[in-house]
């Protein structure tokens, strides 16, 4: 996720450098043809103006739809934060063991650490990275062996959660009502995982993106012809500036529409998972060193 400050200009314009090279060369050629060879190559300014207005509306719609996808992903991960805290609180307070046995305390700690691992695993899986690389230290050998046999690692971790809750019920550590409450929280986490997977696996309509991209290039190629009669060689910087604005808006939409692609514009799932881990460790009263967020200059992952 991009932060409000310290965004380098090289990052912003680096996204459209090839487009701007093309536009610059094209605008210079049109300007030279008009200035030195006196070619009558102009068109009425109203033509690119009408096309530009139409493209502006399409870009606004595209940007809005892309932001909706990004914002939905952020809302989902906000729910994951809340549900992870709720699940941990329930696991630590519902389990009633009058003997305070070490075994039950170990089960609770393993359960909470598995939830930390689930958050890390889900974020990495959505980005197409190793889903267990960041959470090996949080899982027992048995849990690791179990999830390695599954394609969907986060789903396997939720299955282990469900088995633990069933064992607590069978051993009388929780009652039936508490079992239902815990299972409902697990279901919410599973729903959030499914929503993230839906966003990840649903491609933004490619034909819409392609037609808009081609229309944008057509507008940029037509624009110098409408400006050259009025501004002469000054049309070159004008065309470059106008084209840059349009291309930047298009690129912004392209990056926002896919919030789990391991880019600076992503939903910051790693930062959120680290926050969840710190919160849950404090609930466990774990005083060992905790995962600290990576320091970035202008974005969070």
Domain map of the chain by residue range? 9-283
Is the model's pTM score more than 0.75? yes
Locus of tokens 């986060």: 154
What's the pLDDT score for residue 287? 44
Q: How confident is the model at residue 264 (pLDDT cuts 50, 70, 90)?
A: confident
Q: How many other β-carbons are positioned within 10 Å of the β-carbon of residue 1?
A: 18
Average pLDDT over residues 173-177: 94
Say how far apart CA 240 and CA 242 lie, in whole Å.
6
Exposure class string for 170-197: b at 16+ Cβ within 10 A, else e: eeebbeeebbebbeebbebbbebbebbb
Instruction: Say if CB 217 and CB 56 are below 8 A apart.
Output: no
Tokens of 220: 């940029």
Average pLDDT over residues 100-117: 91
Of the candidate ranges 89-103, 114-128, 195-209, the one whose mean pLDDT is the lowest: 89-103
């Amino acid at each position: 996720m991009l932060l409000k400050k310290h965004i380098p200009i090289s990052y912003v314009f680096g996204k459209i450098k090839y487009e701007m090279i093309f536009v610059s060369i094209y605008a210079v050629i049109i300007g030279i043809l008009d200035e030195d060879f006196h070619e009558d190559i102009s068109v009425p300014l109203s033509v690119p103006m009408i096309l530009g207005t139409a493209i502006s509306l399409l870009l606004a719609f595209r940007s809005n739809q892309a932001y909706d996808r990004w914002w939905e992903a952020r809302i989902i991960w906000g729910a994951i934060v809340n549900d992870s805290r709720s699940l941990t609180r329930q696991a630590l307070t519902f389990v009633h063991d009058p003997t305070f046995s070490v075994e039950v305390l170990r089960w609770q700690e393993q359960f909470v650490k598995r939830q930390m691992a689930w958050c890390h695993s889900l974020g990495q899986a959505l980005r197409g990275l190793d889903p267990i690389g960041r959470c090996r230290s949080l899982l027992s050998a048995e849990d690791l062996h179990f999830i390695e046999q599954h394609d969907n690692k986060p789903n396997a971790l939720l299955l282990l959660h469900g088995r633990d809750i069933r064992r607590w019920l069978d051993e009388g550590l929780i009652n039936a009502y508490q079992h239902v409450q815990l299972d409902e929280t697990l279901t919410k986490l599973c729903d959030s995982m499914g929503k993230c997977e839906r966003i990840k696996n649903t491609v933004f309509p490619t034909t819409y993106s392609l037609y808009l991209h081609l229309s944008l290039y057509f507008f940029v190629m037509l624009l110098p012809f409408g400006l050259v009669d009025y501004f002469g060689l000054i049309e070159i910087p004008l065309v470059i500036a106008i084209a840059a604005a349009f291309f930047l808006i298009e690129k912004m939409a392209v990056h926002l529409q896919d919030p789990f692609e391991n880019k600076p514009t992503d939903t910051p799932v790693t930062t959120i998972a680290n926050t969840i881990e710190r919160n849950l460790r404090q609930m466990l009263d774990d005083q060992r060193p905790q995962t600290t967020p990576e320091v970035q200059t202008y974005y969070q992952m």
